Amino acid sequence: MNSTLGPETDRALSVSRRSVDVLQREYPGSRWVIHSDASEARKARVIRFSAHDNSRQAALRLYASPIAARRQAAGLQYGAAMNSVHGHGVPRVYAWFEDASALLMEWRPAPHLETVLMRAALAPMRHRDSVRRVGEWLRHFHALDRIEDAALEAQRYRVLLRRRLAAAPAGAAVLAMDPLWRDATAWLEQQLQLLDGHSVPFARTHGDFTFTNVLVEPSRITGIDIWAEQRLPAAEDLARMFVYLAIGDVFPLRARVVPVALPVRRAQQALFEGYGSRVDPRSRTWQLLVCFEALARYLALQDRLVRRNSFSERWKVAGLRVLLTGIVAGV
């Protein structure tokens, strides 16, 4: 083992050595390098490994919480059936070190969807094809378990929004004086009252389906950071991805300055082209879930802006404001 890891905690060094043992058993005769550029991911610290000839790479994720490690391991193990679907998959799990709250998995050196779309901003066909393929991935993922109708629970979204407000007090203070926030939350509450108990398709959801949790390669889409624990409205995954896509998209250009109908947005068109018709993008439920995800993102971005001024965050906030204005106005 050639290590350039540098000073680390006992846990990191111990689990890194155990990881190399696992990889050498998996690939006899291989030698592995531990890279020094450890990074932070959601709820985990990531240490990367590569074979001496760069033919393979792996990642060790060290979680602060054993619960998070267990959830991620379960999510990836659940999604492993995706690897039998041509062109779609999840990272392979090599080992779960339960005693150390750590997970050793395949590392795929591919760009996130966000990066791919930034590069393809002025290439409409490439942009659309990438989003369509991601929609296809989600369709196959939802199909791993049964998809069946169940009652929408309005109270769940009220509770989730209250929790997010409590977790982002600086952003909440800013939005308390924002007329758009007031109008959009009032619209959301009105729709929750109307649609409570409404029958919608439920599936076992990804849990955090955003453009940073999808890797795009020419012949494969890989979903990462999977928290597939709950059966929830299938449209939740779609709505979260759509909001992330829409707020940064430059097309149609008028959508950056004036509200446009959701079906006009190329992000929605491409996403549903890949996902199919199991979820109705013309339904009030779809608009409700898009509004909820947009409000949640709006709150998170405003909270960040209080602490650090950022052009990219302001760009996204501007996109969210137009999106929310259109929903509230019924465009």
pLDDT of residue 36: 66
Strand duo 44-51 + 39-41: pairing = antiparallel
pLDDT given at position 13:
87
Report the alpha-carbon distance of residue 135 to residue 294 in Å, rounded: 19
Find the DSSP H helices in the chain: 10-26, 66-79, 113-119, 124-142, 154-167, 169-175, 179-195, 235-248, 266-275, 284-307, 311-329
| Strand-pair category, 199-204 with 148-151 | antiparallel
* Domains of the chain with bracketed CATH: 2-106 (3.30.200.20), 113-329 (3.90.1200.10)
Do residues 246 and 222 touch, judged by C-beta distance below 8 A?
no
d(CA 164, CA 14): 36
The full 3-state SS of 80-118, as one line of letters, equals HHHHHCCCEECCCEEEEEHHHCEEEEECCCCCEHHHHHH
Specify which residues 217 forms β-bridges with.
Answer: 220
Q: 146: helix, coil or strand?
A: coil
Round to whole Å and give the CA distance between 60 and 68.
14
pTM: 0.91
pLDDT tens string, the chain, 331 residues long: the values are: 544 444 457 788 899 999 999 999 999 999 999 886 666 666 788 999 999 988 999 999 999 888 989 999 999 999 999 998 899 999 999 999 999 999 999 999 999 999 999 888 778 899 999 999 999 999 999 999 999 999 999 999 999 999 999 999 999 999 999 999 999 999 999 999 999 999 999 999 999 999 999 999 999 999 999 988 899 999 999 999 999 998 877 666 666 677 778 887 888 999 999 999 889 998 999 999 999 999 999 999 999 999 888 888 998 999 999 999 999 998 7
Q: What is the pLDDT of residue 40?
A: 66
What DSSP letter does each residue of 236-254 carry, written as one string?
Answer: HHHHHHHHHHHHH---SGG
